[in-house]
Structure 1
Amino acid sequence: MENTPAILIVDDDRDISMLLAEYLEKNGYRTATAGDGKAMWKRLDEMHIDLIVLDLNLPGDDGLTLCRNLRATSSVPVIMLTARGEPVDRILGLEMGADDYLPKPFEPRELFARIRSVLRRTQALPPGQEVPQVQHMQFAGWTMDFTARHLINPQGVVVALSGAEYRLLKVFLDHANRVLSRDQLLNLTQGRDADPFDRSIDLQISRLRQKLGEDARSPQIIKTVRNEGYVLATAVAKPQ
């Protein structure tokens, strides 16, 4: 039983929390619930949690604030629940460190599939082994530090990255000079395919370009390939 993943559902709608908890328990997970941020922190102190399902709209600190504060101290995976038709909230959730998002209303089985996907990705390596063998990569004068999870610009100044930006840039560095479609980028960063109206990757790339100091009208590092996707168009070095 202790090896069964524990899912914490943070939602102030008790009916939804109970419904999800019942469904997940029937499908082999242990669950706990919390109605707000204060209860969430209490649950995290009381027991080991493998994944958090976090509603965006909560009394007190909202889901974005809780996710940002959580990322300062923990790497526990987070799936953010957002209102349908609010893409900005979804992007902000990913930037605050959420691993995936799911718009309401949704089917419990869809959440179950997302949970399985996120857990597969985050549990692929043993604890403490998340840092890749290559701890630095250099490109266009920039250095990516995988240990500290930040960028160092050509002047030696540290540039902090959100969780979403870090994952996206790592994918580009791992596939340098190769065109990647939106579907491929979503699959590699979030473990899922894009829907026809999903523009989260475009917004994340726009923000990543800003961090890299790119000219939005003529980017030189992350280029747009018309009707195909995006490419990291520069050499990448892996110092020993």
Structure 2
Amino acid sequence: MNAPLVSILDDEPEIRAILTEALEEAGFRTQSFSRAREFEAALKRVVPDVCLVDLSLPDTDGLTLVHRLALERGATVIIISGRAQVQDRVTGLELGADDYITKPFDPAEVVARIRARLRSSRSAPQSGQTARFNGWIAHFDRYVLEDESGTETPFSHAEGEVLRLFLDSPKRLISRAQMQDGLGGAAGESFDRAMDVRISRLRTKLREDPKNPRLIKTIYGAGYIFLGDVSWS
């Protein structure tokens, strides 16, 4: 089996060199890019296991790129940025990033975060790629929700992880701690707020009444429970 492939997008040569050395010493394969155009062209040839993306890029807006990667390609995305404010972290996670690391960073932390993301993906119950529930079909191979009329609505990789967590444990309480354990990433205010946004977006895509959702219920002070009847294929 090939070692996991990590794509690095950062316009600073020193950062690319540090990350490449640390990741390859840890057993990963790497490819690095200084421009978004080169990075996106490479994605058409091979999809990496993890993308490390800087937000301050010379040829595109990093947040827009992160959103496109998450929504259109279903890529696992970790932001590495000098923007350290909580709001920047929340915005990046809201737009579909799976994790957010601020500069300056310890290369060992980056390696640990990547391993955590990969463990999370591999340890998730392999129920299948298609789930049917309450008139909906979730296609995890294409990252789209399909309603009874055949209309499709895309969802991001990060939203898909939350949805799969619910669909794998229907009618069971899922606490915030269990979500953090299951989804990885750094705990804290930015993680909690990002989860709130992702769940809100899933409810919108499932056309839930925000005041009285039928499928994803909030159990205040405890967590969430998914009330649908789920079958996998």
Structure 2 length-normalised TM: 0.79
Aligned partners of 1:184 and 1:193 also within 8 Å: no
In structure 1, the residue matched to 2:209 is 215
Amino acid at match of 1:24: L
Compare relative contact order (CA 8 Å, sep 6+) and give the higher one, 1 or 2: 2
Unmatched tracts of structure 1, length 5 or more: none
Aligned partners of 2:8 and 2:30 also within 8 Å: yes
Confirm or deny that 1:138 pairs with 2:133: yes
3-state SS of paired residue (2:172): coil
In the TM superposition, what is the alpha-carbon distance from 1:238 to its structure 2 partner?
1.9
Q: In structure 2, which of residues 161, 168, 191 is the aligned counterpart of residue 174 of structure 1? A: 168
- Which runs of structure 2 are paired with 1:21-170 in the superposition (5 Å)? 21-41=20-40, 49-70=48-69, 77-82=76-81, 83-85=83-85, 86-94=88-96, 98-122=97-121, 132-133=127-128, 135-139=130-134, 141-154=135-148, 156-170=150-164
Larger radius of gyration: 1
Query: Closer, same or farther in 2 for the Cα pair 1:66/1:177, shift >3 Å?
Result: same
In the TM superposition, what is the alpha-carbon distance from 1:111 to its structure 2 partner?
0.7
In the TM superposition, what is the alpha-carbon distance from 1:147 to its structure 2 partner?
4.6
Query: Closer, same or farther in 2 for the Cα pair 1:99/1:180, shift >3 Å?
Result: same
Query: Closer, same or farther in 2 for the Cα pair 1:101/1:134, shift >3 Å?
Result: same
Aligned partners of 2:117 and 2:185 also within 8 Å: no
CA distance in 1, matches of 2:159, 2:151: 17
Unmatched tracts of structure 2, length 5 or more: none
CA distance in 1, matches of 2:44, 2:147: 38
Tell me the alpha carbon deviations over residues 81-116 of structure 1, each in whole angstroms, 9 at most, x when there is no partner.
24222133222442xxx4433233432111110111
Aligned partners of 1:80 and 1:100 also within 8 Å: yes
Structure 1 length-normalised TM: 0.77
Aligned partners of 1:80 and 1:93 also within 8 Å: no
CA distance in 2, matches of 1:64, 1:91: 10
Amino acid at match of 2:146: I
CA distance in 2, matches of 1:147, 1:25: 29
In structure 1, the residue matched to 2:195 is 201
Q: Which has the larger displacement, 212-221 or 147-156?
A: 147-156
Query: Closer, same or farther in 2 for the Cα pair 1:29/1:146, shift >3 Å?
Result: closer
- Please report the RMSD computed on the Cα atoms of aligned residues, expressed in angstroms: 3.3
